[in-house]
Structure 1
Amino acid sequence: MDDMLDLLLDGVTEPRLKLISGDEARALMDLLGVLDDDVQPEEIRRAAGEMRFRLGSRLA
């Protein structure tokens, strides 16, 4: 899963390869926020937090 998200996020920065729109990226950040909940295992929370950070920095 982590490799798939890396591929998607790396593609977002390529000008010719927009895999997700800004609205989709914001929705994905919300979904990742759910995975960043204390109920989830540490590994899931860490990965979700990292993906949210990476996505957020690219949206800014």
Structure 2
Amino acid sequence: MTYMAALVGCSPKRINSNLRIDLREGFRNYAQRHPGPCPLSTRITGRVAGQPWTQSIDFT
């Protein structure tokens, strides 16, 4: 929820309050079974041998 809130520019509390309890519980269960990347929009400036050391920084 925190990551989704950051993507759309609102508070996590607002994301939580806009979801019904049953939908939120379903989302949590799905996310736990299917974790995915949560890349931050941070510019990568560090280099190793002239190349970026990573493609992105993950929220978690």
Instruction: Please give the range of the TM-score, normalised by the shorter of the 2 chains.
Output: 0.3 to 0.5
Greater RCO structure (CA 8 Å; 6+ sep): 1
Higher strand share: 2
TM-score under structure 1 length normalisation:
0.38
TM-score under structure 2 length normalisation:
0.38
